[in-house]
């Protein structure tokens, strides 16, 4: 909560929702002192937002992200969804609601954002293969023997991305990549047989698309979530973001 | 000429132009026997073509390609230009003519075709860098000493592409890549400071574009001219071409 508190002050936020009752009661007064309103559930958003806002980012983790996301579609011109579970479990409902409200949707999960960047405005029938890349996690190529004494803290040490604990564990045991294939299959409505997974420890390439016409397109960006987030906000504008120099030696 | 003769028969061609006077006289009768008309200059095309045709490929080598290409723009809906010299020397004239005749233009040179595939329909201002790849030619990493006894036939042995002698020599001494940067700078009207060259001996990637938004797109296709040619003909259609399996190990 103190992290949200600091962010709310830094970004001059006017309204905050804290679902957890105990924490809501405990910290409410701190926010109120700074003239920040505190709510305890999403239903109050309707009262705060009077007309469609430009952008909402849905990044609540787990399936509890679904309901607020469905709400966000009503009052947003564009929603960025970082929450895998709501896409995997609730895509059909999300899709209907997006269509009904003419709301733009941009996936924030870096692999899906990368695929989207390559095939947005492309005829889906022209796609032969979609390859998602996986780093292989911290235990790739380790001898089975050496895994006997691993601790949870070793399992959450992702080699390339700094992420939450749950997704880090899912990456380590590769389940995350399976979830990502399901997620991609839903978002892009492409036959699951067209998806492949490539173990790519450098995590340099995030998506590879092979087209029927013989062309193969690859997408790379810094392994930092600021890139998909920045692009989901400014996707129609030509805005510049500072990023690392190209590491072109990777191909040689 | 015998190669053209065979192609004309295989593809049921009705009209052939042979500029070289001696060869025209020597082989004319062979074509006529097969009911193929033979002309000796491009000016006769106007009589043959009554309405705009779908596609013309301009692949005459050297600057003598310019005039026929300017003609082709008049009577074609789309022209594919494989001839570097006419683009480098005559782009301003070609560009005006393309605009006036509302003729589509597609570059066939594989690097330019690859760049075009990545930035066609993209706002040019959003491009930060364009990287052309060069194989480095047959003498890359060879000791200076070992170059003392090389013969012309060694210099035309390109490691990845099967091409004509002139362009093979230009590749070997890297002049071809300089010409390609000039060519790309003309076609795409992008500041020459934004171009870079990467020595990439595997010739797997043909073009790399870095955008202001932090995204990097790469294009690969089989090192065979059938890919750019096929795509210049069918670029608006979803047609399938047989191509090699992806070699994904290149990134690891």
For A63-120, the pLDDT digits (tens) are 989 999 999 999 999 999 999 999 999 999 999 999 999 999 999 999 999 999 999 9
- Tens digits of residue pLDDT in A225-241: 999 999 999 988 888 99
- Per-residue pLDDT of B32-59, as tens digits, reads 999 999 998 888 887 888 899 999 999 9
Please compute the mean of the pLDDT values over residues A205-231 and round it to a whole number: 94
ipTM (interface pTM): 0.89
Kindly state whether B245 is in contact with chain A, defined as any CB-CB distance less than 8 angstroms.
Answer: no
Nearest to A243 among B118, B198, B214 (CB): B214
Pull the structure tokens for residue A229.
């987030």
Q: How far is B202 from chain A (nearest CA, A)?
A: 7
Whole-number percent of chain B with pLDDT over 90: 64
Sequence-ordered list of residues with C-beta below 8 angstroms from that of B216, at least 6 positions apart, any chain:
A219, A220, A221, A246, B208, B209, B210
Tell if the CB–CB gap between B125 and A248 is shorter than 8 Å: no
- Which of A125, A230, A251 is the closest to B200 by Cβ? A251
Q: Does residue B66 belong to the interface with chain A, where contact is any CB pair within 8 Å?
A: no
B182 pLDDT more than 80: yes
User: Rounded CA gap, A105 and A76, in Å?
Assistant: 10
CB pair distance less than 8 Å for A218 and B221: no
Please give the Cα distance from A73 to A98 (Å, whole number). Answer: 6
A-chain residues near B120 (CB < 8 A)? none
Residue A13 φ/ψ, nearest 5 degrees: -75, 140
More confident residue, B246 or B111: B111
User: B119, B121, B195, B213: which to substitute to probe chain A, counting the most A Cβ within 10 Å?
Assistant: B213
Which residues, other chains included, contact B95 with Cβ-Cβ below 8 Å and sequence gap of 6+? none
Calpha distance B228→B109 (Å, rounded): 8
Interchain contact B100–A (C-beta under 8 A): no
* Contact flag B208-A246 (C-beta cutoff 8 Å): yes
Put simply, whether A129 touches B (Cβ < 8 Å) is yes
On chain B, the residues whose CB falls within 8 A of the CB of A202 are 251-252
Q: CB B202 to CB A250 under 8 A? A: no
- Which H, E and C letters describe chain B, residue by residue? CHHHHHHHHHCCCCEEECCCHHHHHHHHHHHHHCCCEEECCHHHHHHHCCCCEEEEEECCCCHHHHHHHHHHHHHEEEEEECCHHHHHHHHHHHHHHHHHHCCEEEECCHHHHHHHHHHCCCCHHHEEEEEEEECCCCCCCCCHHHHCCCCHHHHCCCCCCCCCHHHHHHHHCCHHHHHHHHHHHHHHCCCHHHEEEEECCCCCEEEEEEECCCCEEEEECCCCCHHHHHHHHHCCCCCCCCCCCCCHHHHC
Which stretch of DSSP H or E encloses residue A227? helix A226-234
Q: Which of A66, A76, A68, A65 is nearest to A103 (CA)?
A: A76
Measured between CA atoms, the residue of chain B closest to residue A220 is B216
Which of A214, A225, A234, A235 to substitute to test the interface with B, most B CBs within 10 Å? A214
What is the spatial distance between Cα A24 and Cα A22, in angstroms, rounded to a whole number?
A: 5
- DSSP 8-state secondary structure symbol assigned to residue A1: -
Cβ within 8 Å, pair A251-B205: yes
Asked if A217 lies within 8 A of B218 by C-beta distance, the reply is: yes
Residue A213 at interface with chain B, using a CB cutoff of 8 Å:
yes
Helix (H) or strand (E) holding A232: helix A226-234
* pLDDT confidence band for B252 (50 / 70 / 90): low
* Per-residue pLDDT at B202: 84
Q: Is the pLDDT of residue A58 over 90?
A: yes
pLDDT of residue B76: 95
A108 touches A163 (CB < 8 A): no
- Cβ <8 Å between A219 and B219: no
């Amino acid at each position: 909560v103190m992290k949200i508190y600091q962010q709310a002050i830094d970004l001059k936020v006017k309204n905050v929702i804290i679902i957890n009752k105990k924490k809501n009661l405990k910290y409410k007064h701190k926010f109120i002192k700074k003239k920040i309103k505190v709510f305890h559930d999403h239903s109050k958003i309707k009262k705060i937002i009077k007309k469609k806002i430009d952008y909402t980012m849905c990044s609540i983790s787990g399936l509890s992200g679904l309901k607020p996301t469905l709400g966000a579609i009503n009052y947003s011109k564009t929603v960025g969804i970082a929450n895998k579970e709501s896409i995997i479990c609730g895509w059909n409902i999300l899709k209907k609601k997006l269509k009904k409200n003419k709301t733009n949707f941009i996936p924030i999960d870096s692999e899906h954002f990368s695929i989207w960047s390559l095939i947005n405005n492309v005829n889906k029938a022209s796609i032969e293969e979609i390859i998602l890349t996986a780093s292989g996690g911290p235990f790739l190529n380790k001898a089975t023997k050496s895994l006997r004494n691993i601790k949870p803290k070793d399992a959450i040490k992702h080699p390339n991305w700094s992420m939450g604990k749950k997704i880090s564990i899912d990456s380590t045991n590769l389940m995350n990549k399976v979830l990502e294939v399901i997620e991609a299959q839903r978002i892009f409505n492409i036959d699951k047989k067209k998806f492949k997974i490539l173990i790519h420890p450098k995590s340099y390439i995030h998506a590879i698309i092979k087209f029927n016409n013989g062309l193969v397109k690859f997408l790379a960006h810094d392994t930092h979530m600021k890139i998909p987030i920045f692009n989901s906000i400014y996707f129609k504008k030509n805005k510049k973001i500072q990023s690392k120099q190209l590491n072109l030696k990777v191909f040689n």
